[in-house]
Amino acid sequence: MALRRTRGMTAVPSAVSIAEQLQYECSILLELFRKKESFSSEVTVADSRLVSVQLSSSLLDCQDKLWCLHSALVQCCALVDKAISKEEEELSSGQTGEYEKQRKMVKERVSILIAKTREMIKSQDSSALITSSVGSEVVCPTALFELKLWVYRVYKEVDYWAKMAISTFQALRGSLRVRSRRSRR
C-alpha cells in the first residue's frame, strides 16, 4: 500500500504540470481561433457542457474523481478530433500556420493527460480495467457559422476540463499527503 501512495505522490506534480500546460495552450488556441474567425469579444457561446461527466460532487472520493476526469478527457479528445476533422473539411484554407500548430499541440497534450490520468488510476488500483471508448458519436452542426461556434465551444470545453484536472490533481495531492501522514503515526 505504501508503494502505491509513493507512486501516486510522485505522479501528481507531473499531472498538475501537464494540466497547467494544457490550460495555457488552450488559452492560446482560443485566442488564435478568435483571431482566425474574426470573433469579436461580444461573441459568446453557450455555457452548457459538451462533456457529460459529474465531477464536482463532494460525495466522490479521489479515485472516483480520477475516473470521472479520465472519462471527461477521453470525451474531450474525441471532440477535438471531430472539431479538427470538421475544420479541415469545411473551414480549412489548406494553410499550416500558428493556429494549426497550436491545435495539434492541444490535441497531443490532451492525449498525454489521458495517459497520465490512466497511470494514476492504475497506481491506485492495479486491477483497474480502463477503456478509452466514447459511448456516443460526436454530432456537430452543419451550418458554417454554427460549426465555427461549435469548434470554439469544443476548445472552451477542453480549457474547462484542463482547469478541472488541475483542481482534481491538487485535491488528490492533498488527500495523499494526509493519508501519508496518518500512516506514519
| 103-137 pLDDT tens trace | 999 999 999 999 999 998 888 775 665 665 555 57
Q: How many domains does the chain have?
A: 1
Q: Which amino acid is at 97?
A: G
The predicted pLDDT at position 174 comes to 74
The predicted pLDDT at position 3 comes to 33
Sign of dihedral through CA atoms 131, 137, 141, 147? positive
Whether residue 8 lies inside any domain: the answer is yes
Whether residue 51 lies inside any domain: the answer is no
| 1-35 pLDDT tens trace | 333 444 555 788 999 999 999 999 999 999 999 99
pTM, to two decimals: 0.83
Whether residue 97 lies inside any domain: the answer is yes
Q: Which amino acid is at 90?
A: E
Number of H helices, E strands in the chain: 4, 0
Domain hosting 73: range is: 2-43+57-184
Whether residue 180 lies inside any domain: the answer is yes
In angstroms, rounded to a whole number, what is the distance separating the alpha carbons of residues 159 and 141?
21
CATH number at residue 167: 1.20.1250.10
In angstroms, rounded to a whole number, what is the distance separating the alpha carbons of residues 72 and 100?
23
Whether residue 50 lies inside any domain: the answer is no
Whether residue 114 lies inside any domain: the answer is yes
More confident residue, 49 or 149: 149
Rg, the chain, Cα only? 18
The predicted pLDDT at position 148 comes to 92
Whether residue 52 lies inside any domain: the answer is no
